[in-house]
Structure 1
Amino acid sequence: MLHHIEEPCSLGAHAAVIVPPTWIIKVKKPQNSLKTSTRRKKRTSFKRKTSKRGNEDNKGRPFVIKPISSPLMKPLLVFVNPKSGGNQGTKVLQMFMWYLNPRQVFDLSQEGPRDALELYRKVPNLRILACGGDGTVGWILSILDELQLSPPPPVAVLPLGTGNDLARTLNWGGGYTDEPVSKILCHVEDGTIVQLDRWNLQVERNPDLPQDELEDGARKLPLNVFNNYFSLGFDAHVTLEFHESREANPEKFNSRFRNKMFYAGAAFTDFLQRSSRDLSKHVKVVCDGTDLTPKIQELKFQCIVFLNIPRYCAGTMPWGNPGDHRDFEPQRHDDGYIEVIGFTMASLAALQVGGHGERLHQCREVTLLTYKSIPMQVDGEPCRLAPSLIRISLRNQANMVQKSKRRTSMPLLNDPHSIPDRLRIRVNRINLQEYEGLHYDKEKLREASIPLGIIVVRGDCDLETCRMYIDRLQEDLQSVTSTTQRVHYQDQESSFPRVLSVQRLSPRWCFLDATSADRFYRIDRSQEHLHFVTEISQDEIFILDPEMVMSQQVGTPPGMPDLVVEQPLYYKEFTDIFVFLLLPSYPSVSFFSLSLFFFSFQFIECCKKGANLLIQGPDHCSLLHHAAKTGNGEIVKYILEHGPAELLDMTDSETGETALHKAACQRHRAVCQLLVDAGASLRKTDSKGKTPRDRAQQAGDPDLASYLESRQNYQMVSHEDLETAV
């Protein structure tokens, strides 16, 4: 292929962000003609020299960057932290190495960002992509402050961490799934530059306490600057336990989901111990000269948060929307004000259902006095700080890249006049097993999808609005009694020519982008307002439902549905554990909530410590009833293996239903199979005379009803054969 050597390279579709090879100049090593002994002596002296000067020689990089200025170029510097969140960084690092010049991609586990930033400090229009958690972003911003680059390059975020609150604020989503690198680069290039307030934390010894009364604890905070929030009390104590456990056993924290599970367990333990109940008695808070201490003591806050961005605790919005409240303004991350919020256990519990904390103040300066060692955290970095005087003040503003809506991915949107008023789009549903097995074969995945119905939406509809239409479509599907039905809404029209899926969509369903050349990929729910319907498809939409049960497969006996084990329930973030406080009586009911709101491993740990599996709640439902109703197969399996036999056919006092009735009503096929295999009675009726098979039929699952009927007949035959044999 010698005739292709002289062809110019355009650097492809992402030429604007790629560092051209012509910018990279190889540094020639100085030739040394001295004898070996002399070289050996020089090498020895060089070691002594580097030990004194540290990293002044920039680690001897074999190249330098000599940029050629161009207004059309936005060169990108990529930093990847492989240790963030679920250890996705290694895969991300390889993908960026493939798409970009490897000299512009850096692994933060090998070296910090300082050397790379110094290497590229003279590159005009430079942009930075931080692939990691919020801590990684803060690290890079701190180095930029130290280097004093002018102007400071804007920073975009690819969220790989656990909370990713800053990434959510800037529209980058709550976590990276499988979005193509090509689209990520387009979003970084087209993103809007916004400002982010950064705040100083100055720590001194508490002057009100004598030296001999100071308690043990850290004398300084992990960071002296924060971008997201600074907090003390309950949440910081939970984060501190997580941090200490991860430092002791890092191999156990290799996934984002497992990290969140540990947060939930630590929050539950801390709630039982009530370690932060006296926080209000040991702090003094003054904001812009206003003493908030009396109000903090009156409301007995167990957590105080100084918030810079709207998001907190993996996506919640603790400031809320003040609306017409005259005392407070909506929160912004670039207004030079910090929001002060107080939390009780009840308000922490309400965060996950749209609640907010007690708004205390919006101020520019804070003086905080503590009179005992209190857990604190700075952007997720925790410590237990000795009694101190802490001053919070505005440091500066950093340039950040905010992800914005794009209308360039579909030819239809190039001309605004060509956008139709209404789009008729078919909705197709895909389960997780088929997506993971076929997402690289787009045609087979299309064939495996199940039509859900047709929606009619506006041409400029975004995915957030489209989600509401699909939810309405799902509600109508539950009431369909014929094969054809047409429903008119005021702003929507839906029709169902062929109903093939009546199983309800789970709350965790998400959109799939089918426009990528190589595969389908998931769209983060927090980014749905950034995508238009026409960007992911023109005539049909694909959605992924991770809890959808697979249809009957080849090799399944006739009349028996394919009982695939359902995916584990991914519960909400760790603050969900505060639902314990909403229960009417503690601790008798709190143990039941483990099967409803908590994770299987924590439930099993409680059982190992002597919890009674026969315990019943106020409605006389057993643990097996609750686990079967929620569809948690792991808990059901554990109870069946370790619990007494009478749990199988135990009924509740209100409806007379067994655990099998509960599972059949909710169409939890895998749980039904576990109960039937364990010997649960299929002929037992509830207070209305209904068998589990009748309940499955009423719930709209004929396959499950057919399976239960066949197993019921099998039980009857086996019983007659047993009597004959006797």
Structure 2
Amino acid sequence: GAKIIQSFMWYLNPRQVFDLSQGGPKEALELYRKVHNLRILACGGDGTVGWILSILDQLRLNPPPPVAILPLGTGNDLARTLNWGGGYTDEPLSKILSHVEDGNIVQLDRWNLRVEPNTEANPEEKDEAATDKLPLDVFNNYFSLGFDARVTLEFHESREANPEKFNSRFRNKMFYAGTAFSDFLTGSSKDLAKHVKLVCDGTDLTSKIQDLKPQCLVFLNIPRYCAGTMPWGNPGEHHDFEPQRHDDGCIEVIGFTMTSLAALQVGGHGERLCQCRQVVLTTSKAIPMQVDGEPCKLAASCIHISLRNQANMVQKTKRRNSMPLLNDQQPVPERLRIRVSRISMRDYEALHYDKEKLKEASVPLGIIVVPGDSDLELCRTQIEKLQEEGDGAKPKTLSSQKLSPKWCFLDSTTADRFYRIDRAQEHLNYVTEISQDELYVLDPELVITQTVGTSPAMPDLVDSSAAPTGHHFAFPSSSSSPPSSPAPSAEPGHCLSHKDDLLIEAAKSGNFCKFQELHRAGRDLMVRDSLGQTVLHHAVKSGSKDIVKYIIENAPSEILDATEEENGETSLHQAAALRQRTICHYIVEAGASLMKTDLQGDTPKHRAEKANDPDLAAYLENRQHYQMIQREDQETAV
């Protein structure tokens, strides 16, 4: 941190650089309060944005400067709502500042939270660990109570007690998943409806709450929640409710059962209860709550929610004036015929500052035909259609390898280098803005292998007018079925040596200290025994959670889907068959495929069903659906 501040002071006037740990942003904003047409770029998560908006409230600037967002947080729900995306990739700063300058100014409702103690609550329900006030008295995104707040609170308390155990995003996600699954099985929030009274705009909805029996209540100000999900959904022809807006002076009240919470991850929504302007929420016992991600356990209280004000925000927009064809004063063509080429992550990282070399390293995928004013969302549909039509019996060349679910578009024209376009911002980019006659995509999981024969052939042309457009999902063929023959060269790992035999034995016996000692001494975690079983297979069989976690954190990710030779089972198949719920969690959250089948055609869900564990099977099925439709690398939502 100190080195970064010194660098800023070297490049800028030291009076323009402020240390936010020393008094926050107030001094800096005060200094610039008289600058005309001031726009602020908040680089951070939604909490950083809320911090800045609260300081602007204190300064009473007139007019208040609009705030844009460079998303660097975990969920980034407000950034997603305003089209800034779910996270920063590698877009040049000059491009970002240009978007800040050209963006539209929109309003964002902000809501007050006023808390009063509930004097009528039963004294026997008093919880000594509960607090009498919320962590924030205003929210921009959402306020919630019940299941999601309980999970967030447990994570927060555990991190406060043992910060050294929460030093990576992977471990944080593992903790969230484990806590959520534990609460899911125990039903710790199932009696929420018994202790809540809800009045919206003078209408008592308590009976509706008691009928629904939700385990979570959410008061939502923006469409996005929990790292990109949309809990209000689209009311469509449901005339009782309007589509959600962040500037209409109304707040949406949503109830979630455990079923609808699970469905949220696969495009579902909660139970729409009300759209209102004022809320009075009364609780009769201490309940976990969270305000824009800040959790607490609030004692029995009466909470009043009312509109505070509206903040000026910058919304990223499509930039028609930057389309190359329009700059040249030429009409937009009716149809575009575009060649699509794929680039591997290895080549991208090595060559993305050298456009010509990177273009030479690309692999052709095919040709698509789209309308001249198409955005990248339509192009994605056509590229995935191209992949589906290329599934026939073709030689396994680089061009015939299917795109992985994490592929993204590359801008090859508007900057001095290639850069990635966030999945959530594809609708903001016209294809003519980032491409002239060739479109490049980045596939982080493209495997460069030796091929025999001629150079890759160009697949067939796909025309968007040839069939109705729709979303097609493409997955690597290896994720849906095992290899036809378990050749050792097809999987990671190598033959067993005498030294590595000790590592296998430590995994079999569940001796974590010995296993860790052997690995640190240089033993290979990708070793296999004579039956093709990895150390992860053996750790699962021994039931050692510590060894499983250690392997996941230290071994290459290929070990997660490695299959043994006898039955074609992955370690997840075996964990499901042994009904090891926690270990299944670890492996699933690390990214193992839930769609891979063994030689009997069973997925891990099927193995859990055969082991008579319906709860584990339901969990695996839910995560399998989520994995099937997940189109971007977003943070695991609660």
TM-score (norm 1): 0.62
CA–CA distance in structure 2, aligned partners of residues 141 and 120 of structure 1: 15
Shift in Å at residue 636 of structure 1? 5.1
Residues 1:525 and 1:418: Cα distance change in structure 2 (over 3 Å): same
Pick aligned residue for 1:214 from 126, 148, 151: 126
Render the CA deviation track for 1:505-545: whole Å, top value 9, x for unaligned. Answer: 12211111112544221111110000011111111111111
Q: Secondary structure at the match of 2:236?
A: coil
CA–CA distance in structure 1, aligned partners of residues 11 and 103 of structure 2: 19
Q: Which residue of 2 aligns with 1:569?
A: none
Shift in Å at residue 328 of structure 1? 0.3
Higher relative contact order (CA 8 A, sep 6+): 2
Residues 1:658 and 1:265: Cα distance change in structure 2 (over 3 Å): closer
User: Is 1:608 the equivalent of 2:544?
Assistant: yes
| Residues 412 and 435 in structure 2, CA contact (< 8 A), matched pair in contact too | yes
| Residues 324 and 433 in structure 2, CA contact (< 8 A), matched pair in contact too | no
Shift in Å at residue 549 of structure 1? 1.6
Q: Which residue of 1 aligns with 2:283?
A: 370
CA–CA distance in structure 1, aligned partners of residues 70 and 242 of structure 2: 30
Residues 1:267 and 1:213: Cα distance change in structure 2 (over 3 Å): closer
Pick aligned residue for 1:294 from 199, 207, 213: 207
CA–CA distance in structure 2, aligned partners of residues 454 and 283 of structure 1: 58
| Residues 96 and 181 in structure 1, CA contact (< 8 A), matched pair in contact too | no
Q: Which residue of 2 aligns with 1:196?
A: 108
| Residues 196 and 282 in structure 2, CA contact (< 8 A), matched pair in contact too | yes
| Residues 261 and 270 in structure 2, CA contact (< 8 A), matched pair in contact too | yes
Q: Which residue of 1 aligns with 2:66?
A: 154
Q: Secondary structure at the match of 2:108?
A: strand
Show structure 1 runs of 5+ residues with no match.
1-81, 83-88, 484-498, 566-599, 613-626, 641-646, 651-656, 663-684, 689-726
Render the CA deviation track for 1:177-222: whole Å, top value 9, x for unaligned. Answer: 1111010000000000000000000001003226675322011000
Answer with 1 or 2: which has the greater Rg: 1
Residues 1:288 and 1:112: Cα distance change in structure 2 (over 3 Å): same
Q: Where do residues 288-687 of structure 1 align in structure 2 (5 Å cutoff)? A: 288-415=201-328, 417-479=330-392, 500-552=398-450, 607-609=543-545, 633-635=558-560, 648-650=565-567
Shift in Å at residue 420 of structure 1? 1.6
* Aligned AA (1:383): C
| Residues 203 and 390 in structure 1, CA contact (< 8 A), matched pair in contact too | yes
Q: Which residue of 2 aligns with 1:133?
A: 45
* Aligned AA (2:157): E
| Residues 242 and 263 in structure 1, CA contact (< 8 A), matched pair in contact too | yes
CA–CA distance in structure 1, aligned partners of residues 303 and 423 of structure 2: 38
Residues 1:122 and 1:605: Cα distance change in structure 2 (over 3 Å): farther
Residues 1:207 and 1:605: Cα distance change in structure 2 (over 3 Å): farther
Larger mean Cα displacement after TM superposition, 223-232 or 540-549 = 540-549
User: Is 1:173 the equivalent of 2:109?
Assistant: no
Q: Secondary structure at the match of 1:346?
A: helix
Shift in Å at residue 686 of structure 1? 6.5
Among all aligned residue pairs of Structure 1 and Structure 2, give the percentage whose two residues are the same amino acid: 71
| Residues 125 and 285 in structure 2, CA contact (< 8 A), matched pair in contact too | no
CA–CA distance in structure 1, aligned partners of residues 542 and 383 of structure 2: 40
Q: Secondary structure at the match of 1:397?
A: strand
CA–CA distance in structure 2, aligned partners of residues 280 and 316 of structure 1: 24
* Aligned AA (1:635): L
Residues 1:231 and 1:606: Cα distance change in structure 2 (over 3 Å): farther
| Residues 550 and 564 in structure 1, CA contact (< 8 A), matched pair in contact too | no
Residues 1:362 and 1:424: Cα distance change in structure 2 (over 3 Å): same
| Residues 125 and 286 in structure 2, CA contact (< 8 A), matched pair in contact too | no
* Aligned AA (1:186): S
| Residues 336 and 394 in structure 1, CA contact (< 8 A), matched pair in contact too | yes
Q: Which residue of 2 aligns with 1:245?
A: 158
Residues 1:257 and 1:157: Cα distance change in structure 2 (over 3 Å): farther
Q: Secondary structure at the match of 1:199?
A: strand
| Residues 161 and 175 in structure 1, CA contact (< 8 A), matched pair in contact too | yes
Larger mean Cα displacement after TM superposition, 531-540 or 603-612 = 603-612
Residues 1:541 and 1:303: Cα distance change in structure 2 (over 3 Å): same
CA–CA distance in structure 1, aligned partners of residues 42 and 49 of structure 2: 6
Larger mean Cα displacement after TM superposition, 221-230 or 107-116 = 107-116
Q: Secondary structure at the match of 2:297?
A: strand
| Residues 134 and 166 in structure 1, CA contact (< 8 A), matched pair in contact too | yes
* Aligned AA (1:544): L
Aligned pair count? 492
CA–CA distance in structure 1, aligned partners of residues 3 and 442 of structure 2: 26
CA–CA distance in structure 1, aligned partners of residues 544 and 390 of structure 2: 44
CA–CA distance in structure 2, aligned partners of residues 510 and 289 of structure 1: 48
Q: Secondary structure at the match of 1:418?
A: coil
Residues 1:364 and 1:658: Cα distance change in structure 2 (over 3 Å): closer
| Residues 648 and 659 in structure 1, CA contact (< 8 A), matched pair in contact too | no
Pick aligned residue for 1:117 from 8, 26, 29: 29
CA–CA distance in structure 1, aligned partners of residues 407 and 332 of structure 2: 27
Q: Secondary structure at the match of 1:367?
A: strand
Render the CA deviation track for 1:687-709: whole Å, top value 9, x for unaligned. Answer: 89xxxxxxxxxxxxxxxxxxxxx
Residues 1:98 and 1:125: Cα distance change in structure 2 (over 3 Å): farther
Residues 1:471 and 1:173: Cα distance change in structure 2 (over 3 Å): same
CA–CA distance in structure 2, aligned partners of residues 389 and 476 of structure 1: 59
Q: Secondary structure at the match of 1:353?
A: coil
| Residues 43 and 70 in structure 2, CA contact (< 8 A), matched pair in contact too | yes
* Aligned AA (1:390): I
Residues 1:386 and 1:687: Cα distance change in structure 2 (over 3 Å): closer
Q: Secondary structure at the match of 2:273?
A: strand
| Residues 398 and 448 in structure 2, CA contact (< 8 A), matched pair in contact too | no
